Each structure stands twice: as C-alpha cells, then as structure tokens.
Chain A
Amino acid sequence: MSNERFSRQSFLGEGSQPIFERAVVAVAGLGGGGSHVVQQLAHIGFLNYVIYDLDVVEDSNLNRLIGATEQDAADAMPKIDVARRIITGLRPRARVDAFQCRWQENVGPLHRADLIFGCVDGFSERRELEAFARRSLTPLLDVGMDVHCVGNEPPRMGGQVILSMPGGPCMFCMGFLNERNLAREGERYGAAGGRPQVVWPNAILASTAVGIAVDLLNDWTRSLRGAVYMSYDGNKGTVQPHIRLQYLSEVECPHYPLSLVGDPLTRLSLSAEAEASVR
C-alpha cells in the first residue's frame, strides 16, 4: 500500500497505521449504523474484521444502508456481503470474517476482536452484547438512535454513543440500561412505528464512535481517559457528553466486576473436546 493513501491522516502519529492494521474490529449489526462504521473503518485502513448480520437487503433499507443498491435489494443480498464489498473495495487484502447470523449464534470469532461496535437493535440485545464484552475484556462501542413521537409535537430524534470499558462504568451504571426500559422493550424500541431510521443521524453517531475508537487505539488526543456517553439530539443537531457522566462513581462497576471475567463454560467444553479427541 502506498504511503500516499494515508498521508492525510499522518497527523494521527507515525505508529498509527500499523495499529489499525493489526487491530481486529467487530461490528455486530450492519444496518444503518453498522454500515457507516465498516465503511469508515475501511477508509481509515483497518484490515481485520469480524462482522455479523442475519438480514438481507430490502427496499426499506435503502434509505440508509450504506453501500446497498436497488439491485442488492432485488437480489436479497445479505448485508454482510454488502459490508464485505465496501471493505474489500477499499482494502482488498482485508480479512473479513463475516457471519450471516446473530452474533449470539457464533460467539467464537468475536473473541478475536480487540474492539466491538455494537450496532444492534434494542436494549436487551445491548445488554447481552455488553455482558459478552465484559466477560472477554473487550471494549464495546454502542451506537444507536431512536425517534419518539409524543402527541402533536414534532418527532424527537435522539441517539447515543457509549464506550463501555471493562472495569469502568457499564450501560447500567450510566443509566442507559435499566430494568424499566428492558421490561418495556418487549413491546417496541421506538415509539414512532416500525423502527424509524434515517441516514444522517446514523452517520453522525457512527462517525462519533469511529473517532472514539481511533483515539482509544492510538491515543492521538492523549485526552480519552474515562467513560464516554455521548448524547445526540437530532432536533438540535448536537452531540454532547451526557449529563449522567457527571454523577458516575469512581468505584469499579458493580454489574460486571473484573473478578467475573472469563467464560466458566470454557473448561467444560474443553473437557468435552478432550474426551472427544481421546475417542
């Protein structure tokens, strides 16, 4: 790869490009948010991907799914293949481990990830992904948006980017997840009908998340030293640190203590594998 390709981002530091090229990034969910994320990661130069999405492209995705075409919708192309096309179009030698399933159905490859982008729907799935990330000591960047309609008021568009760092405050500590919204979710995530989504807030939130990821990996600002909870107000067009950050405790996250990392089933599955190999 010529040095010219990344010359405009050389301010990130001499050692940055090798860091990006070695890091394994996972993206769970390749819809409105995830498709932006993979595109930006490929532009930056990342070479190792683990990506998940069960769905295929539909007409209703084309208002926001980056890289997807009318033909892809007609062909019912899997979203992982759209993402793979974006990545390899920019970085032909990228390794893309792509799985057309929910991430929960094949977690093994997710353990390779140095950083997970959670672009999933709903609170419950966010909780599951964060629990996985905490068990495997993997930072998680959660990206999400929502639209709420109340009475005759204009729709309210909001979203968040949260960096969930093992040991640090989790999405429960930050108040983003709580029993009430988890319980309510059984009904629906958004309040404006079939999960309203548009392209521009996804772009803003994905860009914010990718910027945080780059800083986390190469420390170019030398200022990212704690929890991140960015709150997006789509009606005002602002992204700012959520007010809850001011009230976070310095103590270790009580929901995911570091003493509970690891997978207790690993030893059991190992024993089963060992038995199988003996037979």
Chain B
Amino acid sequence: MTTGIRLTRTLYEHMLGDLRRPHEYAYERVGFVSAKTANISSEHALVLLTEYRPVLDEQYIPDPYSGARINSAAIREAMQRALDTGGGVFHVHMHEGRGKPGFSTMDAEETPRIVAGLRTAAPEAAHGMLLLSGNHCTAWVWLPGAGEPGTPAKVSVVGYPMALLV
C-alpha cells in the first residue's frame, strides 16, 4: 500500500509564506491544512491537501522548551473543522533549511495526540502531520481505520512547475 499526497503550488507557497513569518515569542509557526481523499484502495491512497489555516498569533503559548506550543483553542478549531466537514486535517509546521526534515522527539510524541483528536472528530478521513523544509517534507498519514501512521511514497506540488517534495 502506497500513499501519495498532492497539493497545488498556490497552497504550498501560501503555507511556506505563512510558516516563515516570525512570531513574537514562538520559534516556529503552526497551521492546519484540510485534506480530502481522491482514492483509497488496497494498493494506493491519494490524499489531496486543500485549504490552509494558520494558528492565530494569540493561540501560541510561551514555552522555551519547544519551537511552538499552541493552545487548546487552536486545536479545538481544527477539530471543529474536521467535525463540520467530515474531511481530514493535517498539522503543519516548518523547519527552515533544505533537504529532508525530521520530526523532533517532541513533534513525534505530541502531535500524534492532536491527530488522535482529529481522527475522533472525522474518523472516515485521512489525517496527519506534515513538516516542511525549504524544498522537501516529511509526513505521517493516518488513513481511516489504520492503527499506525504511514509515510507517503510521494508528496507532489501541482502547478508551474511541478515539484516532488518526497
């Protein structure tokens, strides 16, 4: 079973632009992007990222030990979005630089808890976490009914020009 993720170049550049904005005290920014599935079969799943919403400035909690800590209101809003639409939601943040980024220990421990809430809100959708760098990305994807996350075989930016982030 392979999973692919696609997003338009417009969305990709919008996310990069937003996540690169400095914050008053958080070291990184976070957003949530909606996701839809175009196909899920026993061999291949295709997840489409559609609409990005940044976490608001006031929804960050000062925390010297993490790049960005967001409050419960930000998480509730993302869950509400999943509940309202029945669609998927991906947690997104960025590690500046080039090459394949890696989730930090804190990312790997804490973000899946947020995803668990999203999956409860919309159990029939694909959810996940996405980490961008300047030209690459890393993602974990929870398909409906899957116990463990999978990593996508391909993450494609669709537009002029096309790009493969994974």
- Interface flag for B164 (CB, 8 Å): yes
Q: How far is the CB of A229 from chain B (nearest CB, A)?
A: 15
Q: Which A-chain residue is minimally distant from B35 (CB atoms)?
A: A262
Q: Tell me the count of chain A residues lying within 8 A, CB to CB, of chain B.
A: 37
For B52-92 the 0/1 string (1 means CB < 8 A from A) is 00000000000000000000000000000000001100000
When distances are taken between beta carbons in the complex, the residues of chain B under 8 Å from A108 are: 39, 41, 43-44
B window 139-158: CB within 8 A of A = 144-145, 154, 156, 158
In contact, A135 and B38 (Cβ under 8 angstroms): yes
A window 99-149: CB within 8 A of B = 107-109, 111-112, 114-115, 135-139
- Interface flag for A83 (CB, 8 Å): no
**Which stretch from A35-43, A216-224, A239-247 is at the chain B interface?**
A216-224
Known contacts: A166-B158, A167-B10, A274-B145. The answer to whether A262 contacts B48 by CB under 8 A is: yes
- Interface flag for B1 (CB, 8 Å): no
- Interface flag for B125 (CB, 8 Å): yes
- Interface flag for A267 (CB, 8 Å): yes
Q: How far is the CB of A36 from chain B (nearest CB, A)?
A: 22
CA A174 to CA B60, docked complex, whole Å: 45
- Interface flag for A225 (CB, 8 Å): yes
In contact, B160 and A226 (Cβ under 8 angstroms): yes
When distances are taken between beta carbons in the complex, the residues of chain A under 8 Å from B26 are: none
- Interface flag for B133 (CB, 8 Å): no
In contact, B158 and A270 (Cβ under 8 angstroms): no
When distances are taken between beta carbons in the complex, the residues of chain A under 8 Å from B22 are: none
CA A274 to CA B124, docked complex, whole Å: 10
When distances are taken between beta carbons in the complex, the residues of chain B under 8 Å from A270 are: 37, 40, 124, 144-145
In contact, B36 and A262 (Cβ under 8 angstroms): yes
When distances are taken between beta carbons in the complex, the residues of chain A under 8 Å from B159 are: 165, 167
Q: Which A-chain residue is minimally distant from B7 (CB atoms)?
A: A137
Interface size class of B (residues with CB under 8 A): 20 to 34
For A2-19 the 0/1 string (1 means CB < 8 A from B) is 000000000000000001
- Interface flag for B101 (CB, 8 Å): no
Q: Which of B6, B10, B124, B156 contacts A267 (CB 8 A)?
A: B124
When distances are taken between beta carbons in the complex, the residues of chain A under 8 Å from B50 are: 258-259, 261-262
- Interface flag for A22 (CB, 8 Å): yes
Q: Which of B8, B86, B161 contacts A216 (CB 8 A)?
A: B161
- Interface flag for B15 (CB, 8 Å): no
In contact, A112 and B4 (Cβ under 8 angstroms): yes
CA A98 to CA B162, docked complex, whole Å: 25
Q: Which A-chain residue is minimally distant from B38 (CB atoms)?
A: A136
Q: Which of A22, A219, A266 contacts B164 (CB 8 A)?
A: A22
For B103-124 the 0/1 string (1 means CB < 8 A from A) is 0000000000000000000001
- Interface flag for A250 (CB, 8 Å): no
When distances are taken between beta carbons in the complex, the residues of chain A under 8 Å from B48 are: 136-137, 261-262
- Interface flag for B129 (CB, 8 Å): no
- Interface flag for A271 (CB, 8 Å): yes
CA A266 to CA B41, docked complex, whole Å: 9
When distances are taken between beta carbons in the complex, the residues of chain A under 8 Å from B51 are: 259
In contact, B161 and A271 (Cβ under 8 angstroms): no
A window 211-238: CB within 8 A of B = 215-219, 224-226
In contact, B39 and A136 (Cβ under 8 angstroms): yes
- Interface flag for B46 (CB, 8 Å): yes
Q: Which of B8, B41, B161 contacts A218 (CB 8 A)?
A: B161
Q: Which of B36, B44, B86 contacts A112 (CB 8 A)?
A: B44
- Interface flag for A179 (CB, 8 Å): no
Instruction: Rank and list the top 5 A-B pairs by shortest CB-CB distance, nearest first.
Output: A262-B36, A219-B161, A111-B39, A136-B38, A137-B6
A residues within 8 Å of B by Cβ? 19, 22-23, 107-109, 111-112, 114-115, 135-139, 165-167, 215-219, 224-226, 258-259, 261-263, 266-267, 269-271, 274
8 contacts between A and B (CB under 8 A): A107-B39, A136-B38, A258-B8, A258-B50, A261-B48, A262-B87, A267-B124, A269-B40
